[in-house]
Structure 1
Amino acid sequence: MPSTAPRGPGPPLDEFNALLRAYCTQGRVSEARAIFRRFHSRFPPNSRTLNTLLLGFKESQNLVAFDLFYHDMMIRGFEPDAVTYCIRMDAYCKKMRFFDALGLLDEMAKKNCSPTIKTFTTLIHGAGIAKNPMHARRLFDEMVARGLVPDRGAYNALMGSFVRVGNLRSALKIMEEMEKAIQLDDVSYYTLLCGMKKYEDLEGFWKLYKRMVEKNFVPRTRTVMLLMKVFCENSRADLGLSLWDYLVEKGFCPHRHALDTLVTALCCKGNVVEAYKCFKQVVDRGRVPSERAFRVLEGFLVRTKKLDMMEELDQMTKRMQALVPSQF
């Protein structure tokens, strides 16, 4: 492998790598490659340099250019590391070439490059994309057999591979297996909830939500939005309100799109007072609700002749107009 010590005047190699990464992040891979070709003799590349460029080519989704650049690097004497193999595996998996990605495990063995948890997680995720959950399970078990301890990413990738084919029972078993070894995270809940929504397992959806609350887990915004949308679309505004109260109790102010959904559902069910309470909680926390939530609530307050609430809503609106004039 070429020496990593820079020659001649100029910025150090770390800054050269940062420059390449900046171009790749912006999707300007061709320019990054041109800079590399122009200056690589002054800053002999290390593994980070070449992996940065390889990652840029992967994100461009041009697999031909990706492979050509990799082989060019091999000619230059570059020795791939575990990160390099992960990048290549991920590129192949996302192009539905799972078995090409899998074959890289043998290549790693020939080069005495040990696979990592990330290596196996990438392949497990790839097996899921290929809708081959049994192969994902075999890879997970092989990882354990090699003495690697699965992390949340590995468990979630395995769980996701079964969700993709609608095997929710197996996915739930993996979740239980995961809970015994390591705590669930937001990806775990979101993956399963998405599967239950897609395959219309509403009973399982309610149960998983209650299980999440029992564990005192606070979901992230995307999971909150998923829960709220499913609850309200299926005439379970009561569960939407329960989720709202749970989050507020935990000190979390839900996203205003969640408020839009809940206010509309509650008002349509005749629970205007509860909708008003949720709206006010957002305002009291210094957040500005959307105009949609305001208009829906205002319309129902007028219709139900809640005069005191209408007056207070008007005062809140004036305060918000002073803060964000363009909002209302």
Structure 2
Amino acid sequence: MVHGLMKTSTKLLNICIDSLCKSRNLQKAESLLIDGIRLGVLPNVITYNSLINGYSRFVGIDEAYAVTHRMREAGIKPDVSTYNSLISGAAKQLLLTRAHQLFDEMLRSGLSPDMRSYNTLMSLYFKLGRHGDAFRILNEDVHLAGLSPRVDTYNILLDALCKSGHIDNAVELFKYIKSRVKPELMTYNILINGLCRSRRVSSANWMLRELERAGYTPNAVTYTTMLKMYFKTKMIEKGLKLFLKMKKEGYTFDGYASCAVVSALIKTGRAEEAYQCMHELVRSGRRSGDIVSYNTLLNLYFKDGNLDAVDDLLEEIERKGLKPDDYTHTIIVNGLLSIGHTGGAEKHLACLGEMGMQPSVVTCNCLIDGLCKAGHVDRAMRLFSSMEIRDEFTYTSVVHNLCKDGRLVCASKLLLLFYNKGMKIPSSARRAVLSGLRMTVSYQAARKTHHKFKAAIKSNAIADP
């Protein structure tokens, strides 16, 4: 009776520790283990394996391996699952030598590696680009160990071949697999994804038919992958047809897919359907907690000049407690600039600063470009001076707009300053300055400035863009 009770208590302890480890609460898991031991609930190999798996996944291989010392001190021997977790941790960090050391240690302990052990090693070799070694493990080591590869092994091989661009080899391997094991739905999805990424439309459609012939029903992953491929390959009508089918069958789609659908509808002149699609996605609750959908709708309203709808949507975003992202603020700034409301765009950026938020470099770039195009170059330059982070587009935009405004000397001095700081600026900015100087000042001034640019580029070892 007492023994049975202790067994149940250890099972409960294992469930709790495993749950804590999977949710990254390793400190709580350790505390719970200590509390359990104090109460007389003794851990077993499963308890320690949960900790090792947690440390391997979320902390590091050294911390995970340290747990094995505590196991041995408690009189518990590591098993195959222990070493599999450790090898997986080493593989995650691409530590090939360490993975092999752990594999050899497992063999020395008298344990026989299982298919998971070999799968992890094969996956590691693929990640390192050593395909030949991965296939050697499959064709030699697995065979010598007397193991039979399962479908998950083949899924790893197919995924690696697809990701490395060896699509034809993946298709040939798939045909071989069909003669050995029954492919899973995941197997078909891996191949469809690989074929779609390489834009092999007819082959992807063939694989979809193969999937259905095998008795499987395409899932959201299958359809979303196909949907993205249709839009990327400009097969808009096919994409929209598949979208309607997904909608009818109750499938959900990610932010990219829904935005791609809306973009396709707009490109084909079906703005009303685009509005309807976004309204349905946002209002139905399927994507009501997704700022991506609201961003798409916000962009549509600005493009249509429907400011009342913009205000209503922003209120709804606030009411639902959604957090606007950098793209939301960029849409607002760009939208206000597009209707000539430069003051409103500047005010929005200032409000972000007042709220303790750092506007993204993309949002600032958008405002600088908009202010310059509206003839407010001085205001744009003040914003440029206040920016802590700038990118290539920031510098290029400022130089080009100064040239357009006839401030060629200022543009040339600024560009020279950038080069002296070792910054890489596109050659288009340099061409704009030199062309402007030749046309409005003199060829001599342009040549003199050109030599200064070349000297600055050379002295700061900048690759000539």
In the superposition, the TM-score normalised over structure 2's length comes to 0.54
Alignment of 1:265 onto 2:300: yes
Alignment of 1:103 onto 2:136: yes
Identify the residue that residue 369 of structure 2 maps to in structure 1. Answer: none
Deviation of 1:201 (Å)? 5.0
- CA–CA distance in structure 2, aligned partners of residues 226 and 64 of structure 1: 44
Any idea what the Cα deviations from partners look like across 1:252-274, whole Å, max 9, x if unmatched?
12511221132113321345566
Deviation of 1:110 (Å)? 2.6
Match of 1:169 among 183, 198, 202: 202
Identify the residue that residue 332 of structure 2 maps to in structure 1. Answer: 296
Report the aligned-residue RMSD: 3.7
Structure 1 residues 279, 172: CA separation in 2 closer, same or farther (over 3 Å shift)?
farther
Identify the residue that residue 314 of structure 1 maps to in structure 2. Answer: none
Identity %: 21
1:186–1:223 contact (8 Å) kept in structure 2? no
- Where 2:82 maps in the other structure, the secondary structure is helix
Match of 2:103 among 64, 70, 75: 70
Deviation of 1:36 (Å)? 1.8
Structure 1 residues 97, 137: CA separation in 2 closer, same or farther (over 3 Å shift)?
same
Higher relative contact order (CA 8 A, sep 6+): 1
1:24–1:32 contact (8 Å) kept in structure 2? yes
Deviation of 1:155 (Å)? 0.7
Identify the residue that residue 46 of structure 2 maps to in structure 1. Answer: 14
Structure 2 letter corresponding to 1:18: S
Any idea what the Cα deviations from partners look like across 1:190-222, whole Å, max 9, x if unmatched?
433444555555555444434433443221445
**Aligned ranges 1:80-229 → 2 under 5 Å:** 80-106=113-139, 107-148=141-182, 150-180=183-213, 181-196=215-230, 202=236, 204-221=238-255, 223-224=257-258, 227=261
Structure 1 letter corresponding to 2:143: A
- CA–CA distance in structure 1, aligned partners of residues 61 and 298 of structure 2: 46
1:155–1:178 contact (8 Å) kept in structure 2? yes
2:228–2:257 contact (8 Å) kept in structure 1? no
1:124–1:158 contact (8 Å) kept in structure 2? yes
Any idea what the Cα deviations from partners look like across 1:264-286, whole Å, max 9, x if unmatched?
133213455665676566567x3
- Where 1:79 maps in the other structure, the secondary structure is coil
Deviation of 1:116 (Å)? 1.6
2:211–2:217 contact (8 Å) kept in structure 1? yes
2:196–2:225 contact (8 Å) kept in structure 1? yes
Moved more, 260-269 or 54-63: 260-269
Deviation of 1:10 (Å)? 5.2
- CA–CA distance in structure 2, aligned partners of residues 229 and 86 of structure 1: 41
1:155–1:174 contact (8 Å) kept in structure 2? yes
Structure 2 letter corresponding to 1:268: K
Deviation of 1:233 (Å)? 8.7
Moved more, 113-122 or 197-206: 197-206
Aligned pairs, how many?
297
Identify the residue that residue 46 of structure 1 maps to in structure 2. Answer: 79
Deviation of 1:57 (Å)? 0.7
- Where 2:104 maps in the other structure, the secondary structure is helix
Any idea what the Cα deviations from partners look like across 1:235-268, whole Å, max 9, x if unmatched?
8755543432443575412511221132113321
Question: Unpaired runs of 5+ in structure 2?
Answer: 1-40, 341-354, 358-465
Structure 1 residues 49, 237: CA separation in 2 closer, same or farther (over 3 Å shift)?
farther
Deviation of 1:100 (Å)? 2.3
Structure 2 letter corresponding to 1:163: C
Deviation of 1:24 (Å)? 1.0
In the superposition, the TM-score normalised over structure 1's length comes to 0.74
Question: Unpaired runs of 5+ in structure 1?
Answer: 1-8, 305-324
